[in-house]
Structure 1
Amino acid sequence: MEIKTENLLGRFLRARRELLRPEDLGLPVGARRRVAGLRREEVARLAGVSTDYYVRLEQGRECRPSAQVLDALARALELEDDAAVHLHRLAHPSSVRRRGPARRGQVSPHLLRMMAAWPHTPAVVLDHCLTVLAANPLGEALFDGHTYSGDLVRLVFLDPDARDLYPDWDQVAANTVAGLRAAVDTAYDDPRLIEVVGELSVKNETFRRLWARHDIRRKTHETKRFHHPLVGELALHYESLTVNSAPGQQLVVYQAAPASRSEEALSLLGSLTAASAATEAVADPAVESLLEPAVQSVTEPAVDVDPRTR
Structure 2
Amino acid sequence: MRHAEPEINAFLKSRRAALDPAALGLPAGSTRRRVRGLRREEVAQLAGISVDYYTRIEQGRAPAISDPVLDAIARALRLTPAEHTYLRNVAQPRRRQRGDQGPRARVRPQVRQLLDALDDTVPAFVYGPALDILAWNRLGGLVSFDLAAVPEADRNAALLTFLHPDAKALHPDWERLAEEMVAALRAEAGRRPQGRISEVACRLLDHSPDFRRHWEAQAVTERTSGTKRVRHPLVGELDLTYEVLALPTDEGQVLCTYTARRGTRTAEALRELAALPALPALPALPAGAPV
With normalisation by structure 2, the TM-score equals 0.84
What's the counterpart of residue 12 of structure 1?
A: 11
* 1:256 alignment partner in structure 2: 260
How far off is 1:176 after superposition?
A: 0.4
Q: 1:265 to 1:256 in 2, by over 3 A?
A: same
1:206 corresponds to: 210
Q: What CA deviation, in whole Å up to 9, does each residue of 1:144-176 have, x standing for no partner? A: 358979321122212222222222222111110
The superposition leaves residues 222-261 of structure 1 with CA deviations (integer Å, 9 ceiling, x where unpaired) of 1111111221111111111112222111111111111111
Equivalent position to 1:181, from 169, 180, 186 = 186
Amino acid at match of 2:132: T
Give the equivalent residue in structure 2 for 1:89: 89
- More moved, 30-39 vs 242-251: 30-39
| Alignment correspondent of 1:197 | 201
* Cα gap change, 1:217 to 1:268, in 2 (>3 Å): same
Q: Give the C-alpha shift of residue 14 in structure 1.
A: 2.3
Residues 97 and 18 of structure 1: is their aligned pair in 2 closer, same or farther, counting only changes over 3 Å?
Answer: closer
| Contact 1:128 1:184 survives alignment (8 Å) | no
Which has the larger displacement, 37-46 or 113-122? 37-46
Give the Cα separation in 2 of the matches to 1:171 and 1:242. 23
SS in structure 1 at match of 2:61? coil
Q: Distance in 2 between matches of 1:97 and 1:156?
A: 27
Distance apart, 1:93 and its partner CA: 3.6
In 2, Cα distance between equivalents of 1:29 and 1:154: 44
- Match runs of 1:215-226 below 5 Å: 215-226=219-230
What do residues 35-74 of structure 1 show as CA deviations (whole Å, max 9, x unaligned)? Answer: 2432211211222222111111112221322222211111
Count of matched residue pairs: 273
Q: Matched residue of 1:185: which SS?
A: helix
Question: What residue ranges of structure 2 are gaps of 5+ in the alignment?
Answer: 281-291
Task: Kindly provide the amino acid, as one letter, of the partner of residue 202 in structure 2.
Answer: G
1:100 positional shift? 4.9
- Which is worse superposed, 143-152 or 204-213? 143-152
Map of 1:165 onto structure 2: 170
Structure with more helix by fraction: 1
Larger Rg: 1
Q: What is the TM-score when the length of structure 1 is the normalising length?
A: 0.79
CA RMSD of aligned residues (A): 2.6
Match of 1:63 in 2: 63
Tell me the amino acid that sits aligned with residue 203 of structure 1.
Answer: H
Cα deviation, residue 118, structure 1: 1.3
Task: Name the % identity.
Answer: 42
Aligned to 2:157: 152
- For the pair 1:126 / 2:131, whether they are aligned, the reply is no
2: distance between equivalents of 1:210 and 1:63? 29
- Structure number with higher relative contact order (C-alpha < 8 Å, ≥ 6 residues apart): 2
